Every structure is written in structure tokens, then in C-alpha cells.
Amino acid sequence: MMKSLLEKLTTFIVVLVLPLMVIYFTVYFGLRRGEPKEIEFTSKATLAPKVDHAEFEILQQNFVNPKDVTAACLSCHNKRDDELMQSTHWRWEREAYIPGRGNVKIGKINLINNFCTGAPGNNGSCMRCHIGYGWEDKSFDFEDPTNIDCLVCHDKTDTYFKQKGKAGWPATAETADAEFAVPDYNYVSQHVGLPDRDNCGVCHFFGGGGNNVKHGDLEKALFHGDKKLDVHMGEDGSNMSCIDCHETKNHNIKGRAYSVSAENTNRIACENCHTDSPHNDKVIDAHAFKVACQTCHIPVYAKKAATSLWWDWSVAGRKDEHGNGFKEYDSDHNYDYLSIKGHFVFDNMVKPEYYWFNGTVDHYLIDDTISEVPVKINTLFGNYSDTAAKIWPVKVHRGRQPYDPVNKSLLSVKLWGPEKGDGAFWNDLEWDTAIQMGMAYWERPYSGQYDFIETEAFWPLNHMVSEKDQVLSCVDCHDRQDSRIASLNDFYLPGRDFNKGVDYSGFALIFLSLFGIVGHSVLRIVAPYKFK
Amino acid sequence: MKKILVFLLLAFVITACNKKSEVQTVDAMVESALTHVKLIEPEGLFNLMNSEEIYTLVDVRQELEFYYGFIPGSVNIPRGSLEFKIGSQEFWDGIGLYMPEKDEKIVVYCKKGQRGILAAETLGKMGYTNVYALDGGWKNWELAYPDLYEKDLDKLGGHSSAPASSGGC
């Protein structure tokens, strides 16, 4: 009786309960597979200041010169100037180790780019985005703390701006115009706090001379974007500010720009918040060993405004029938010819190019000799066999820019000047004088001959992260016809690559398995009869 | 009665299984077209332009897209009027070009490639047997051959215009 009951119970469990449990748990975990883990955070930029600056007597004085505001800030926030004056935002250079070169000083102050070629010598225009007042020439005092512009980063009123062409100064009573008024220093200084995206974006969204020209993934639409534009910064989503990722301690802002930094230090990574296994799916998580998060999660960049992909200085300088410079536009109203800058190709919703990248970068330095064409403004290190390297999405900015065919070096050009006739290219459209002035400022040799040469610069993408239903799927890469990473052919990628030996070995294994199953079944059927 | 019910049930199941969605997304339409439309890369078109082969290059963008920049030698036939103009002797006489034969090579392009693929599919349905769509369209061409382009500024009333705020520094 007992035995019979036990047999029935065993049969019940094996036949009904166990299969149901298998089905239940398969469905349970299957439904949850691929669901990313939720991250909780509080946006720092929206936190209320711990003090009311309007109550401080020192901020109630009648400021006329912004340097007096800085002095007032430092009277309470002492030693902050020491921190800030060590930063790259202040120095525009840092010491870095580059393999094959050793320790070198690099930064905007001494690197050539393929946008406006370089900042030094064009101080009136470029140094508007320096966090100081009046870097007009080499006499600028980097040790004077009152030269620090605290307000450009800490203004919470959105009324404080540096004036165009004034080397970082705001408008004065003499220079104010319809676009730039004299700031109300009392109002601004009494309403300060942690930087929000307006403070960062006013410079970083307009790099290269206009909205989204340089980066491709940083533009003014991010001031008030939605989740489709950037899943982190979308106002209808996480609504994060820049400093939520670019964490800052003692004015040291984490998250170096990959394109202008050399070492893989002081950077930020998606894993800092999302961990290294965020997908709840082991197969996808395993991809992170060789694939950067950005590769799948930034399928396109320049989602709103177009970005510059080609900039050809060789055709700059043309004049119309009246002897004046002119502009032409493409059908999307992006300029595609400016006499002062040359010919452009702009585009939006751009698919990135993909490269191996281990976080370290080489640069064309001002004393380098050109050894290859196109000249690489920067070089991303990494390849498949490099254990630190991953596949990254990259914006590549290509173009032609002036070089010295005798000295075989890229040239620095004096582009900006305050008035016509001063020799600056944007005023007079004359190359030779502008190059002489540019090279003289940089104290570099110029043979007197110039021509134009093709260059390319590589900008790893980090922003404009897409929502999860817009990210790349398997077949975007694992596809024989149209793989996104078709150009990375130093490794075997299943689905994209094929090898007859591997393919036929696979088929053979499948057939052998089938043969084994069928053979085993036949034997099981035949055996009882044979041994009866 | 029981047989009728079983028959109706079977009929319902079969028709339900066979029912296809009549609504297609543009991506699905392009993907479907790509199963039989041939693509040509900018390098292939460049080589064709420098060969002796007879070909017709058709830009299927709207006129106001075309005038701002196009591949040299292109004929602008917006996709909306493609079916009506491609075989119209009057149209080709009007622009002073020979009307392409049905077996002649035709390359169509748009801004980024999708309209061109659908236009190539349309031409295939009309009996044109040697049609190619330019992969990536005008934007891909611009990046591959940034020096090889034309504009029709006369049609735009002189220099092209844009919002005053653009132009950089």
C-alpha cells in the first residue's frame, strides 16, 4: 500500500510537477532576461545651495569689474584658486605620457587640430571659452587668481555671458551691444551654485566654431533634449546634468576628452554606475570584454543638428564679384561654403565609424614632421590582441588644411583679428600673411611656401546615448553583407566571417550528432526484441 | 451540425494564419526592395562616370534639395514624378538629353539612400532592367568625393540663404 502510494507520488512529480516547474522557471527567467538593472541617483546640479549668497555683505557691493567678483568669491572660498589653477580648464595643457614619445605637455595651447587649426594666436575669439578674463596674448598671468572667471561655471541665472571677440571678458559699458549686455554682477554673484548643463554647454556644445561642429554628440539641443536624444540628459527621463557623470572634487573634473588626452586616467566609464554586468544577460555582458558600451548604445550621433565631417580649407578665400567673401548653404541650411573657412560637408543622424581603442592616444605635435597622408591629428591606440582595447564608435573629422611643403609640417594660421587690414585671414582672406603671423605667434619656422594636405581626427563618442529599443542588434555587426564593423578585420567574427573548414566542421558535428541520436533510438527499439 | 462547426473553426484558423499585415514601415519597404535592387558604391559610380559606358544618373530628391548640391551630370526627377517622366519623350526633349532605353544603365540617388532604393524598385517594376541605387546617396558621395559636386544657384536666386545666426565664430 505504502509502496504503491510512493510510486504514484513519484510518477506525479516526475510526469507533472517537474515539467511544470521547468516551464515556469524557464518563462520566469526568460521574461526577465535582458531587462537592465535600474540605477537610482539624484542630480547634483538641481540640489539647492547650502547657503543663500544674497545674504553675504561682500556680494552686495556695487561690482563694476568682474575681477572684483572673483576676489569676493575667494575671500570665503580660499584655496579654491590653488585647485583651479592646476586644472586643465585653466592651463589648457597637461603633462602626459605618450608611448614612443615619453612625457610631453599637450593641450589646446600647443596642439594643432583640423577645425580652425589651433587656438593660440586667435586669442580674442578662441579664449572666450577659457575660464579666465583677458587671455589676449602671451602676457596673460596664469598665477593671478583674480584672472579666474568663477561666474562662467557657477552662474545659475543664465544671464552671464562672455562677449565674442573679447578674450574671455564679459561686455562692458563701452563694448555692450544688442547681443551682449553688461552683466548684473550683484544679481549673478548672489545666485551661484554647482554648474548645470547651461554652464558647460555654452562652450562644449559650440566647439569648432558653431553648434555641434566639433564633437557630433554635444550640441545645444541637449540644453532641453528628450530621451530620444540622450537617455541620460533627456528632460522626460533621467534629466541628468553634466556633473552627475563628470564627478568633480576640488575642481578636478573627471572625464577627459579622449581626442585631446593621451593617458587613460581620470576618465569616467559607464560601468561606474551600471556595473560590468548590467544586462541581466550573460551573453550580452560578455561582449563588454571587447566591445565598449558606447558601440551598441550610440548607434547614431548628431541626432538633431548636423556636425562637420569634412572641412576643406584649400578653397577658402574666394570672393564675389564685389570683392567680398560670401556664404553658401546646403539643402538643410548648414553652411557648405564660407570664404573665411572653406568647403564643408555636414550631416546629421550619422552612423559612427568603428575602431579598436585602449584609451590611450597619440597626437600630431607642433614639432612633428609629416610622414603620412592623410596626416593623423590624433591616433587611437589599440587592436584586437590588445587586452585593454575595445571596439569604439568614433566620429572621424576629415579635411584639408595648410602645411609647409618644405618643412613638412602643419601650419598655424592667424585667423581672428579685431579689424580689417590686420592680416588675420578672416579679415583679409590672404593666406601668406595670416600664416606668417600664425607661425610667428607659435614661434615656429615657416619656409614661406604653403599648400594644403589631407588630415583626419578621431573623436570617440560618449554622448547621445539611445534608449534601449534603439540600440544595435546582433545582426548590425554579425552580418555577412552589411556589418557595421566590416572594417575591423583582424579577428574572426561569427556571422560576419566564414571559413569553409570551420563551416564544414560544424555541419559534420551536426550530422554526427543526428546520426548518433537516430542510431541510439534504433538500437533502443531493436534491442528488446533481440534480447527477448 | 457538429461537422459544420468543425469546418467553420478550421476555416477561421486557416484564414487567421494566412492574414498578412497590409501596413508596412518604410524600413520594411526598403529592406524588401533591397532583396532585388542592386546597389552601387560611390567608387563604382565614379568609375562609371570615367568610363565609356552609357548611363543615366537620376537624382530623385525634391528640386529644392537638388539645387543646393548634386553629383555632376545628374538629372533631377523628384521621386513623386519619376514614373511619369522617366519614359516621357517630351520631358527628355525638354532637357536636351536622350531618353534612357529599358536596358540602359540607370543610377538613382537621393539624400541618404532610402528614397533611391525605392525609386530603383519602381523603375524595375516599369521594366528597366539595369538600375542601380547609390548606396548612402548624396551624403555618401559628398564624403567620398567632396570636390565633385555642382550647385544651381541661379535657381536659388543667387547665393543660397540660411538663417543669419549660422556661420560659426
Binary contact (B159, A328; C-beta < 8 A) = yes
β-bridge partners, A386: none
The whole-angstrom separation of Cα A80 and Cα A89 is 14
Please give the full DSSP string across A42-58, using - where no structure is assigned: --GGGSPPSS-GGG-GG
Q: Choose among A161, A141, A163: nearest CA to A152.
A: A161
Tell me the C-alpha to C-alpha distance, in Å, between residue A305 and each of A224, A349, B63.
13, 9, 22
**Is A532 part of a structural domain of the chain?**
yes
Residue A40 is predicted with a pLDDT of: 77
CA distance B132 to chain A (A): 17
CB-side exposure of A333: number of CA atoms within 13 Å?
Answer: 8
**Is A229 part of a structural domain of the chain?**
no
Tell me the C-alpha to C-alpha distance, in Å, between residue A321 and each of A248, A318, A324, A470, B11.
54, 10, 7, 49, 78
Read off the C-alpha cell for A493.
567574427
Binary contact (B146, A333; C-beta < 8 A) = no
The whole-angstrom separation of Cα A254 and Cα A261 is 12
Are the C-beta atoms of residues A401 and A138 closer than 8 Å to each other?
A: no
Please give the full DSSP string across A193-208, using - where no structure is assigned: -S--HHHHHHHHTSTT
CA distance A479 to chain B (A): 14
The whole-angstrom separation of Cα A314 and Cα A341 is 9
Look at the block and give the residue holding cell 576676489.
A71
The alpha carbon dihedral of A166, A170, A171, A172 has a sign of negative
Which chain A residues are within 8 Å of B164, Cβ to Cβ? none
Q: Choose among B40, B19, B3, B9: nearest CA to B136.
A: B40
CA distance B68 to chain A (A): 5
Q: Alpha helices of A443-499 — where are they, by DSSP H?
A: 474-477
Are the C-beta atoms of residues A133 and A67 closer than 8 Å to each other?
A: yes
List, for chain B, all residue ranges whose pLDDT scores fall below the cut of 50. Answer: 163-169
Residue A503 is predicted with a pLDDT of: 84
The whole-angstrom separation of Cα A131 and Cα A516 is 74
pLDDT in tens, B41-75: 999 999 999 999 999 999 999 999 999 999 999 99
List, for chain A, all residue ranges whose pLDDT scores fall below the cut of 50. Answer: none
Cβ-based neighbour number of residue A310 at 10 Å = 20
Are the C-beta atoms of residues A275 and A285 closer than 8 Å to each other?
A: no
Which chain B residues are within 8 Å of A333, Cβ to Cβ? 162-163, 166
**Is A439 part of a structural domain of the chain?**
yes
The whole-angstrom separation of Cα B125 and Cα B130 is 12
Cβ-based neighbour number of residue B158 at 10 Å = 9
Instruction: Specify the number of domains making up chain A.
Output: 3
| SS3 state of residue A525 | helix
Hey, of A114, A330, A454, which one would you mutate to test binding to chain B, going by the most B CBs within 10 A of its CB? A330
Longest pairwise C-alpha distance within chain B? 84
CATH class assigned to B24-147: alpha beta
β-bridge partners, B150: B70
CB-side exposure of A221: number of CA atoms within 13 Å?
Answer: 21
| SS3 state of residue A155 | strand
Read off the C-alpha cell for A436.
606668417
Q: Which residues have CB under 8 Å from A8's CB, separation 6+?
A: none
Residue B164 is predicted with a pLDDT of: 43
Q: Which of residues 39-98 of A touch B (CB under 8 A)?
A: none
The whole-angstrom separation of Cα B108 and Cα A407 is 46
Which chain B residues are within 8 Å of A310, Cβ to Cβ? 142-143, 146
The whole-angstrom separation of Cα A122 and Cα A129 is 12
The whole-angstrom separation of Cα A425 and Cα A253 is 35
Binary contact (A329, B162; C-beta < 8 A) = yes
Residue B169 is predicted with a pLDDT of: 45
Cβ-based neighbour number of residue A31 at 10 Å = 9
| SS3 state of residue A378 | strand
Which chain A residues are within 8 Å of B64, Cβ to Cβ? 331
Q: What type of residue sits at position A157?
A: T
The whole-angstrom separation of Cα A111 and Cα A105 is 10
Type and span of the H or E element at A107: none
Where in the sequence is the domain holding A432, given as residue range(s)?
412-445
Binary contact (B139, A345; C-beta < 8 A) = yes
Look at the block and give the residue holding cell 570617440.
A460
- Mean predicted lDDT score pLDDT of chain B: 89
Binary contact (B162, A327; C-beta < 8 A) = yes
Q: Which residues have CB under 8 Å from A406's CB, separation 6+?
A: A447, A448, A449
Buried-state track B124-134, b at ≥16 Cβ within 10 A, e below 16: beeebebbbbb
